[in-house]
């Protein structure tokens, strides 16, 4: 997993002047650049790897939410096995069973 290491905030007019170097910097150094217009952030430049990582995280969370909620309900009802119970169960199984 990638972590964005640094964020720069610069005006769009400055970004326009040094766009090529910003693109290289974002890709090489895995940075993020927030672009401002009239002092407000209007857009963000990130590397494609960072964007892919964010999209994968969103997908994983979106598709795990139902299972997470089921687990929370089961936990509240104390419908779970402890580590000790799992270890005992594993010890009872034949060694060649998978």
Residue 39 belongs to a domain with what CATH number? 3.40.1620.10
In a domain, 97, yes or no: no
Q: pLDDT-based confidence at 4, cuts 50/70/90?
A: low
In a domain, 1, yes or no: no
Tokens 């910097």 appear where? 25
Question: Does pLDDT of 80 surpass 90?
Answer: no
Q: Judge contact between 51 and 24, C-beta under 8 A.
A: no
Nearest 5°: the CA angle 62, 54, 38 is 120
**Residue 26 CB neighbour total at 10 angstroms:** 19
Tell me which residue range forms the domain holding 57: 7-92
Return the exposure string of 31-43: e unless at least 16 CB atoms fall within 10 Å of the residue's CB, then b: bbbbbbeeeeeee
How many domains, in total, are found in the chain? 1
What pLDDT, on a 0 to 100 scale, did the predictor assign at position 57?
92
Q: What is the pLDDT of residues 26-75, one digit of tens each?
A: 999 888 999 999 999 999 999 999 899 999 999 999 999 899 999 999 99
What pLDDT, on a 0 to 100 scale, did the predictor assign at position 24?
94
This prediction's pTM: 0.60
């Amino acid at each position: 997993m990638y972590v964005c290491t640094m964020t720069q905030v610069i005006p769009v007019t400055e970004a326009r002047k040094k766009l090529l170097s910003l693109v290289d910097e974002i890709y090489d150094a895995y940075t993020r650049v927030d672009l401002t217009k009239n002092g407000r952030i209007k857009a963000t430049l990130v590397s494609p790897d960072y964007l892919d990582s964010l999209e994968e995280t969103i997908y994983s969370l979106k598709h795990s939410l139902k299972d997470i909620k089921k687990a929370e309900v089961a936990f509240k009802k104390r419908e779970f096995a402890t580590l000790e119970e799992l270890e005992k169960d594993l010890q009872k199984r034949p060694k060649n069973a998978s």
